[in-house]
Structures are given as structure tokens and as C-alpha cells.
Amino acid sequence: MTDSTRITTVLGIESSCDECSAAVVRYEGPASVRCLSVSTFSQIEIHRPYGGVVPEIASRNHLESINPMIDRALADAGVAIDGIAVTNRPGLVGALLVGVSAAKALAYAHAKPLVATHHLEGHAASIFLDREKDAGEIPLPLLLAVVSGGHTNLYVMKSLPAGWSETFLSDSLVGRSRDDAAGEAFDKTAKILGFPYPGGVWIDRTAQAGNAAAFDFPRALPQKTNFDFSFSGLKTAVALAAEKIRKENRLQENLPDLCASLQEAIVDALLGKMYRASHEYRCRSLAIVGGVAANSRLRGRLDAEWKAQGYAVPPLFPKHAYCTDNAAMIAAAGLFRLRQGRALAQADLLTLNAIANPER
Ligand code: KG4
Ligand code: ZN
């Protein structure tokens, strides 16, 4: 029986959607994990003609790229591995199965401890990636927003990962989107405006030259009593505005203003609820993770506003490379779980399955 606290290096595998990724990380402290290597094959170009991810095509491409990604991550890191972590939920079931099968085979063949990781726990752990050991204390509770293509969830994090329970995500959830996720709101409105998939980054870039007050788009559910989001009304408002302007043949010249205004509506909704939830739950720090955390306006506004909002420390963001899906965050989350002694029992190793929509 190995002492789980001696586990320091972990191989992570991520294949839940359209990024096929493997990474090796090393434990540096209770709130810092060093990424030694990360190797990702993004299928974005492959799915672009379809305007979104096609599950069957994603699975087939994962199958072809998973072993080369793992080989490269291991070679680049050049260290012995103490354990393996793999995303097994939530996600596209066929895509998840490719990573899960590779991880099971490796763990079995090399007799390494394996842990099944929740994709959102990976996003949560991304704030600790490449964070300096002496970066200072993170005042708790921390209000954590997971803003991605599939989720807009607010969590109140009361402990560092060593203290995360098995049900940490469901226990600490305080708000979520009732319809589209924030990333989906970016992607769907971008599609309406004629940008390629995924549109978030195009909106971000085009908005730089625009006026955020040009169009008055709705900020849904601003009530003080709940911390849920709704972005479907924004999508309809953008579609109506775009249709009108297109008929007048002025869409092209209005794109920067449209992008800046819709981006501001999403950022306002996110920050408004984050500040309110954080205040309600007496949080002492803020973090934003997930693909939308790469948004320059969201980062910029939070950087400019945190002091006035009463926080003593700056907000935590993952580096850009760790915002969108990657295996380093899965390895980091898995590393903390393995150190808690939560590796799968030998008897459960080969029966581990992928779960598309877990209850928690
Ligand atoms: O976390 P992620 O890679 O995948 C999921 O787990 O869903 O997030 C992808 C999402 C997409 O909706 C994409 O448009 C959005 O993140 N995204 C952005 C930016 N970069 C990526 N949204 C706004 N601004 C960005 N710069
Ligand atoms: Zn994700």
C-alpha cells in the first residue's frame, strides 16, 4: 500500500469534448501545482464546418490522437509518474470513453493508481496551476465562477483542494444558468452575427473597437434573491437587432458595437451575480475559470473593480492556456484527489465508466 501523500507527479487525460489532451503535473504545495508538460490536439478546425461539435467525429478523432498526446506529454515531462487522472464525467460519452479506456489500460499495465475526475473539478483546480508556492494565502471562502461552453456555475469554496469532499461540487453550488451557458451565449450570438465556431474569441476581438453602450441588450434575472443566470433573452435580442441592421445593409459597420454591447451584457450579468453571491456568502476572494475566463473584458473589469468591491486580494484567473479545456487541470484535480487517498480500488479499475450527465 503506497502512502498517498507521496504522490507528487500525475498524468492527466482529457477527452470530454473537442480537445484531446494529456499533461503531466507536479505537486508544489496545497495551492500550487506545476505543469511539466501539456500536449493538446484541438479539433476546433475539424468541427468548424458543422457550426458545433459533432459527437461521432469527436470520438473518432480522439481515438487517433490520444496515444500520441500521451506519449508526447510523458516525453516532454521526462519524469516518472506516480498516478493517473482521467475525466470520466460530464461530457460526450463516446469522447469520454476514449480517454477513460486509455487511462484504464495504462493504470492496469503499469500498476499505477487511477482516479476518475469530474471535468468541472478540473476547471476549479486550474487556478492552482503554475501558481507560485509563495504567492500568498487565498482568503476563504472563495467565490468561484465556472464559465464555459457547457456551464455557468457559481460555487462557494470553503477549503483548499486537500479538504474537498467527494461531493464538493454539488455541496458548494449556489447559482447556475437556467438555459444557455455563458460560452454558449457567446457562441450562439456570434453565429447569428456570422462569425465562425466557436465565436467567443471573435466577439472578444471584434468588441475591442466597439462601443459597449451602443445597444441596450437585456441583463436577465437581476433579482437580489437568486444567483441563477439566463442568457436566452440576450440571444433573441441580438437576433432581432442583427436582422434589423442587416435589412438596412449596415451589419458589417455595426459589428464592433454589437459585439461590445452583447459582451458587456454577458459580463454585467456574470459580475453582478458573482459580487452579490460573494457578498451573501461572505466570500473573501474571487476566481473565474473555464473558456469564458479568457475573455479580455471580463478579466479587465474584474481587475479594475475588485478593490472597490471590498476584496483584499486580486481575483484569481488561470493562465489563458488553462482556461479552455486541457489535461493539466484534470491532472491537478486528480493529484489532489490521489493525495487524499481516493484512487480507485484495484477491483473497480476495469469497470470504470464514462458518465455523460452525472447527478453531481
Ligand atoms: O471550458 P471550455 O474550453 O469548454 C467547455 O468545457 O465548455 O469553454 C469553451 C467556451 C466556448 O463557448 C468559447 O466560445 C468560450 O469558451 N471562449 C470565450 C473566449 N475564449 C473561449 N468566450 C469569450 N471570450 C473569449 N476570449
Ligand atoms: Zn471545460
CA distances from 118 to 100, 121, 135 (A): 12, 5, 26
User: For 96-124, what is each residue's pLDDT tens digit?
Assistant: 999 999 999 999 999 999 999 999 999 99
Ligand nearest to the CA of 270: 1
Residue 42 reports pLDDT greater than 80? yes
Task: Determine how β-strand 152-157 pairs with β-strand 142-147.
Answer: antiparallel
CA of 114 to the centre of ligand 1 (A): 28
Whose C-alpha lies nearest to ligand 1, atom 20? Answer: 201
Top mutation candidate among 17, 126, 184, 186 for ligand 1, by most atoms within 8 Å of CB = 186
Pairing of strands 9-14, 19-29: antiparallel
Asked whether the predicted pLDDT for residue 79 surpasses 90, the reply is: yes
pLDDT band, very low/low/confident/very high, at 346 (cuts 50, 70, 90): confident
Q: What is the pTM of this model?
A: 0.96
Q: Sorting pLDDT into bands at 50, 70 and 90, what band is 359?
A: confident
DSSP code string of 25-56: EEEEETTEEEEEEEEEEE-HHHHGGGTS--HH
Distance 281 CA to ligand 1 centre (A): 27
Average of per-residue pLDDT values in the chain: 96
Q: What is the Cα–Cα distance from 297 to 238, expressed in whole angstroms? A: 19
Indicate which atom in ligand 1 lies nearest the CA of residue 184.
12
Please tell me the least confidently modeled range out of 75-79, 171-175, 220-224, 249-253.
220-224
Chain segment 141-194, per-residue pLDDT in tens: 999 999 999 999 999 999 999 999 999 999 999 999 999 999 999 999 999 999
pLDDT number for residue 271: 97
Which ligand 1 atom minimizes the distance to the CA of 19? 3
Please report, as a single letter, which amino acid is at residue 93. Answer: V
Q: What is the mean pLDDT of residues 113-138?
A: 96
pLDDT digits (tens, 9 = 90+) for 64-77: 999 999 999 999 99
Closest atom, ligand 1, to C-alpha of 123? 1
Q: Check if 149 has its Cβ closer than 6 Å to any atom of ligand 1.
A: yes
DSSP letters for 204-221:
HHHHTTS-TTSS------
Q: Whose CA is nearest to atom 21 of ligand 1?
A: 291
Using 50, 70 and 90 to split pLDDT, how confident is the model at 221?
confident
Q: Where are the beta strands (DSSP E) in the chain?
A: 9-14, 19-29, 32-42, 83-89, 114-118, 142-147, 152-157, 173-176, 285-289
Choosing among 3.30.420.40, 3.90.1170.50, 3.40.50.720, 3.40.50.300, the CATH entry for 175-309 is 3.30.420.40
Q: Is the pLDDT of residue 298 over 90?
A: yes
CA distances from 158 to 142, 155, 277 (A): 7, 9, 14
Q: How many whole angstroms separate alpha carbon 186 and alpha carbon 202?
A: 9
Write down the pLDDT at residue 3: 86
Q: Domain 4-137+320-349 - what CATH class?
A: alpha beta
Q: What residue segments make up the domains of the chain, in order of their start?
A: 4-137+320-349, 175-309
208 vs 221, more confident: 208
Q: Residue count of the chain, please give it.
A: 360
Confidence of residue 347 (pLDDT cuts 50, 70, 90): confident
Q: What is the mean pLDDT of the segment spanning 283-295? A: 98
Same fold, 4-137+320-349 and 175-309: yes
